[in-house]
Chain A
Amino acid sequence: MAAQQLARGLGWFSIGLGAAELFAPKKMSKLIGLSNHATLIRMMGMREIAAGIGVLTEETPAKSMTARVGGDALDLALLGAGLISSKNQRGRVLAATAAVAGVTALDIFCRLQLNGSSQESTTINTVQSVAVNRSPEECYQFWRDLANLPRFMQHVQSVQVVDGRRSHWVVNGPGGSTVEWDAEITDDIPNEAIAWRSLEGADVNNSGWVRFQHGPAGHGTFVKAHIDYEPPAGKAGALIAKAIGKEPGQLVKGDLRRFKHIIETGEIPTTEGQSSGPRTAVGRLAEAFDRA
C-alpha cells in the first residue's frame, strides 16, 4: 500500500509540474536555464499530465509508473543536450538535471515496489455495502432465493438451484463467452448471513458472504457483501480477471444498488430504450462507455 500511496503522490506531482510546463512554458524554460524552448516544454508538460492521470486513475498504476520512468529518461536526455549547448545557463540546467535524477530514482523505486505487490496474489476481492429500507428478514429471504440473483447481479445469466445447498451458475464472461461453476452454501444463518464458495472444477474459483444487519433505528438494513474471485492461470484466466477485475468494487456496488432498487421499488431505474434525438458519433461513444 505504501507503494500505491507513493505512486499517487508522484501522480499529483506529474499533474502539477505538467500544468506549470503547459501554461507557463517560458517561465519554466527560464527556471531550468534553457533558453526559449516553449514548445518543447509544453510537449513535456502534456506528457507529464498524461502520465499523472494514468497513475491516478489505474487501479494498479504499474504501467503508468513505467511510463513515468520512461518520461524521466527523456527529460534527462533533453537536459543533457541542454548542458552541451552554450546558449543555456549551465548552472540552472545542472540543478534541474539533479532534480530530475532524484525524481527518476524515486519513480524507479516506486515502480519496483508496485511490481512486488502485484505479484503477491491474483485474487480479486472487494467489500461493498448498501443501506436498504427493508427489514433484514425481507432482504435475507430475497437473496436466499438464489433464482432472484440474476435480477440484480449484472453479469449473472442464471442460477439454477440444485438442492438446498448447491446451485449451478452461468455468468457472462469477456467477449460474449460464458463461464460456469457449481457453488455450495457454506454458511446459512437465517435472516442474518449467507456464505458460499464455488466447488472444484469451477471456471473461476470464487467465494463470498453477504450479511444483513439491522441499521440504527429508522435506517433499515445494512447489507454488506464480500466477494473473492480467483481467476485460473493462463490466458483465458487473465481475460476473465481483466473483465471482473477492471472495477470489481464498482461491479459489486452496482449489484448491491440494483438489489436495493428491486427490493424497495420492484424495478430497476433505467433510461435504456427511451427516445432521444439522433446521437452524434461522440455521443454514442460516451453512451457506450456509460453502459459498460
Chain B
Amino acid sequence: MEKHVHPQAVVAVKTGRYLLVLLLIITFNFIIPRLMPGDPLLNIIGEEAYYGAGGALENLREDLGLDRPLIRQYFDYLGGVFTGDWGYSYLYMQPVLAAVAGHLGWSLILILPAIVLAALAGAFTGSLAAWRRKTRTDTFLTGSLLLAYSMPHYWLAMIMLFIFAFLLGWFPLGRAVSGGLEGFACFSDVMWHMVLPLGVLTLSKAAYDHLIVRSSVVSIIGEDYILTAQSRGVSAAVVLFKHGLRNALAPLVTVTAIQFGMLFSGAVMVEVVFSWPGMGTLIYEAIAARDYPLLQYAFFIITVCVLAANLLADLAYRWLDPRLR
C-alpha cells in the first residue's frame, strides 16, 4: 500500500536529493583526477598547462596544495567550488568560471526556446495523430517524426547546414554573431544565425514530444468524459485540444525535465557543428586540448542546470495536476 505523503514533503525530499547529487558531483570531480593513472597535477590542470609550464611545475604543485593531506585538499576544493574559485583555463587564458559562464548563456539561448517551440509543435501534431490514429495522417506524421528522432542531432545539423547554408545560402555557415554590429542590428543578426541550430534542436525535441502527446491522448480517447463531451455535440477539435491536451500536459512537463540532460547533450552536439559559442564548443575545444578543469566544470554546470529543471518540473507538476493542488 502506498503511504499518503504531503505534496510539500515530496518537494522537500526531492530538493534534498538534488543537493546530495550536487555534493556527489563535486566530490566526484575531486576524486577523479587524483584517482586516474598519471600525475594528478596533469589531471588537474590539463595537458596544455602541464607541458607548457616547464620548470614552474613544482611551484604550481605547491600553489594548488597537492602536497597537503587529502582531506585538507578536499575542503579547500569544496570551498573553491562555492566561492567561484574554479581554477584557471589555459585554453581560454581566463578563469574557468568566466569561461564557463560566458558559454552557458549561449547554450541556454538555444535550449529554452527549443523547449517551448517543440512543446507547441509536438502538442499539435501529437493530438492530430492521436485523433486520426491508424490513418495515413498518423502513420506519416508519427513515422517521419520517429525517423527524425532517431537521427544523431549533429548529423541532422550537418544535413541542414549543407542544404540551407552551403546549397541555398539562406543562412550563415556558423557562429552566433557577425561582429561589428550594435543594437537591433546585432539582435537580428543573432536571430539569423540562430535559425538553423534552433531548428535542428526543436525538430528533435518536437519528435519526442509528439510521441508522448500521441500516446497520452490516445489512451484517453475511449474515456467516458470524452464520449460525454462528444455526445453533447462539442466539436472534435475542442474536445481534443481542451481535454486531450490537458491530460497530456503533465507527462509532457515531466518528460521534458527527465530528458533535460539529453536535450542539453543534443544542444552540445549541434553547437559543435554550427561553431555556436556555447557549452558544446567549449567541451569540444577542451577535449582537443585536454583542458580537464574546463571539462569538469562543464559537467558540473550542466548537472546544475539539469537539477534546476527537475526541481522546476516538480513544482510545475503540482500546479498542473489538480489532484495535488
A binds B: no
